[in-house]
């Protein structure tokens, strides 16, 4: 039995659609900065048009539809998360901040001790 990968017929078309979508988005962004001397409404229109054309091409590709399904599932999963109470969130944030301050002081002290040992004792430099 052979384990050769099977290429699906629409894969190349999807890649072309994604490339066109990315190019359209890039064209919108470049157009926004290219027309810097034009009215802001025109610049925003070029940007929105480029992003819209990119979104349309991405929508008609399998990858774009898979991304949309992934995004919907992600939103559904975030609704299932049990978020901590405000008091718990503040307490945990304070613990993390305190640990960061203690670690910063420890690293500062270690750096100064190593600096003193290296420069004063080993190299004999007087600062």
Same structural domain, 87 and 68: no
Predicted confidence band of residue 4 (pLDDT cuts 50, 70, 90):
low
Q: Where are the beta strands (DSSP E) in 2-80?
A: none
Q: How many residues does the chain have?
A: 127
Which pLDDT value is given to residue 59? 86
What pLDDT sits at residue 10? 63
Give pLDDT, residue 35. Answer: 92
Q: Are residues 17 and 66 in the same domain?
A: yes
Distance CA 44, CA 22 (A): 18
Which domain, by its residues, includes 39? 1-81
CA–CA separation, 103 and 109 (whole Å):
10
Q: Clarify whether residues 92 and 64 are in a common domain.
A: no
What pLDDT score was predicted for residue 123? Answer: 80
Note the pLDDT tens digit of each residue in 51-102: 999 999 888 888 888 888 999 999 999 999 888 999 999 999 999 999 999 9
- Tokens standing for 102? 């203690």
Q: Which residues of 95-107 are buried (b: 16+ CB within 10 A; e: fewer)?
A: eeeeeeeeeeeee
Which of 81, 96, 115 terminates a domain? The answer is: 81
pLDDT at 7: 54
Shortest CA distance to 50 belongs to which of 13, 17, 16, 20? 20
Q: Are residues 74 and 99 located together in one domain of the fold?
A: no
Report CA torsion sign: 79, 80, 85, 90.
Answer: negative
Q: What's the pLDDT tens digit per position in 19-39?
A: 999 999 999 999 999 999 999
Torsion of CA 13, 17, 22, 25, to 10 degrees: 170
| Comparison of pLDDT for 26 and 6, the residue scoring more | 26
What's the confidence (pLDDT) of residue 45? Answer: 94
Nearest alpha-carbon partner for 26 in 6, 45, 54: 54
pLDDT at 2: 55
Number of domains in the chain: 2
Q: Are residues 56 and 93 in the same domain?
A: no
- Quick one: pLDDT at residue 114? 92
Shared domain check, 94 and 48 = no
């Amino acid at each position: 039995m052979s384990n050769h990968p099977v290429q699906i017929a629409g894969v190349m078309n999807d890649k072309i659609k994604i490339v066109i979508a990315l190019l359209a988005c890039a064209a919108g962004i470049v157009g926004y900065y290219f027309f810097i001397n034009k009215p802001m409404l025109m610049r925003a229109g070029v940007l929105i048009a480029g992003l819209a054309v990119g979104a349309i091409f991405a929508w008609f590709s399998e990858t774009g539809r898979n991304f949309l399904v992934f995004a919907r599932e992600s939103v559904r999963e975030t609704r299932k998360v049990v978020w901590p109470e405000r008091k718990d969130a503040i307490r945990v944030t304070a613990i993390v901040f305190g640990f960061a301050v203690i670690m910063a002081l420890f690293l500062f002290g270690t750096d100064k001790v190593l600096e003193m040992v290296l420069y004063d004792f080993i190299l004999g430099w007087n600062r």
